[in-house]
């Protein structure tokens, strides 16, 4: 998989390639990562990439020409172009899984009052938002997207189970996790996790996952088709809470 990021601040991403999981993925050849400085494609002698908006109003808008030329420098037939925008669809694990199957992603990071809408209308495949709030630019959302996608690429993590049990992957929040020591400040690890009974551990984890989701994010349960076992567990949880 390849990801190109179009940005005014390529130095923002320097640490990303040294990040443990992403760095290992690059070393293994499972993933390639590149930043493109939009300013390099400005034809203005001062390398300006923004201008005043037509119709008036506060702020500046990123011009279409530098973005278009930067896009053409990396785009091919397999490219899927994403504009990080507060107007985009809300990013979640399902979207991450779909994007992880793409061969080549191009992420456009906007700034100021955004980018000229002719780029969005004609050259962008998806607008994506990481939340209902406004950030200074698209760099932080781009890092979120890259990190969440790369870990789904086969071979990046030690095993598929490493991410399949995580919160949101299967529509539920993850079950509680414990490690040594068995007792900490008089608080003990649940006995079932020490039993060695894999079926009982599986049931306990499923129950706790449902419980966490019901308490913290009940909206997720509305979107998920529950199994008979999960329905029975959920009914029990509702009676106890």
Mean pLDDT within 19-27: 86
**Predicted confidence band at 19 (pLDDT cuts at 50, 70, 90)?**
confident
The pLDDT, as a whole number, for residue 170 is 81
pLDDT digits (tens, 9 = 90+) for 148-200: 999 999 999 876 545 455 556 688 999 999 999 999 999 999 999 999 999 99
Q: What is the largest CA-CA distance in the chain?
A: 71
- Give the domain ranges of the chain: 2-150, 165-240
Burial 31-57, CB ≥16 within 10 A → b, else e: bebebbbbbebbeeeeeebbeeeeeee
Looking at the domain that runs over 165-240, which CATH code has it been given?
1.10.1270.20
DSSP helix/strand/coil, 234: helix
Q: Give CA angle at 91 (109, 25), nearest 5°.
A: 70
Cis bond upstream, residue 181 (ω within 30) = yes
Helix intervals (H) in 57-195: 64-72, 93-99, 117-123, 139-150, 161-164
The pLDDT, as a whole number, for residue 15 is 84
Counting DSSP H helices and E strands in the chain, the numbers are 9, 9
Mean pLDDT within 18-26: 85
Whole-number Å distance between alpha carbons of 230 and 214? 12
Bridge partner residues of 50 (DSSP): 62
Helix intervals (H) in 56-197: 64-72, 93-99, 117-123, 139-150, 161-164
Sheet with 32-37: strands ordered across = 32-37, 2-7, 104-109, 79-90, 126-129
The pLDDT, as a whole number, for residue 164 is 54
Whole-number Å distance between alpha carbons of 45 and 136? 25
The pLDDT, as a whole number, for residue 161 is 47
Bridge partner residues of 2 (DSSP): 32, 104
**Predicted confidence band at 17 (pLDDT cuts at 50, 70, 90)?**
confident
The pLDDT, as a whole number, for residue 20 is 75
pLDDT digits (tens, 9 = 90+) for 51-104: 999 999 999 999 999 999 999 999 999 999 999 999 999 999 999 999 999 999
| Mean pLDDT computed over every residue of the chain | 93
> 2-150 has which fold?
Alpha/beta knot (3.40.1280)
**Predicted confidence band at 8 (pLDDT cuts at 50, 70, 90)?**
very high
Whole-number Å distance between alpha carbons of 67 and 22? 26
């Amino acid at each position: 998989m390849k990801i190109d990021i179009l940005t005014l601040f390529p130095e923002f991403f320097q640490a990303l390639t040294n990040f443990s999981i992403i760095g290992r993925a690059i070393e293994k050849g499972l993933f390639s990562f590149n930043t493109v400085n939009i300013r390099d494609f400005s034809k203005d002698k001062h390398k300006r990439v923004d201008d005043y908006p037509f119709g008036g109003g506060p702020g500046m808008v990123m011009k279409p020409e530098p973005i278009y030329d930067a896009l053409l420098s990396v785009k091919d037939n397999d490219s899927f172009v994403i504009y990080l925008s507060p107007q985009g669809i809300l990013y979640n694990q399902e979207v991450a899984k779909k994007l992880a199957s793409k061969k080549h992603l191009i992420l456009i990071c906007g700034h100021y009052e955004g980018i000229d809408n002719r780029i969005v209308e004609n050259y962008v495949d998806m607008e994506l938002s990481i939340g209902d709030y406004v950030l200074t630019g698209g760099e932080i959302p781009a890092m979120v997207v890259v990190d969440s996608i790369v870990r789904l690429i086969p071979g990046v993590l030690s095993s598929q189970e490493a991410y399949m049990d995580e919160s949101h992957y299967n529509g539920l929040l993850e079950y509680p996790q414990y490690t040594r020591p068995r007792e900490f400040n008089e608080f003990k690890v649940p006995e079932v996790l020490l039993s060695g009974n894999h079926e009982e551990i599986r049931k306990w984890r499923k129950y706790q996952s449902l419980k966490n989701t019901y308490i913290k994010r009940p909206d997720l349960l509305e979107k998920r088709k529950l199994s008979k076992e999960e329905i029975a567990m959920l009914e029990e949880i509702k009676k106890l809470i």
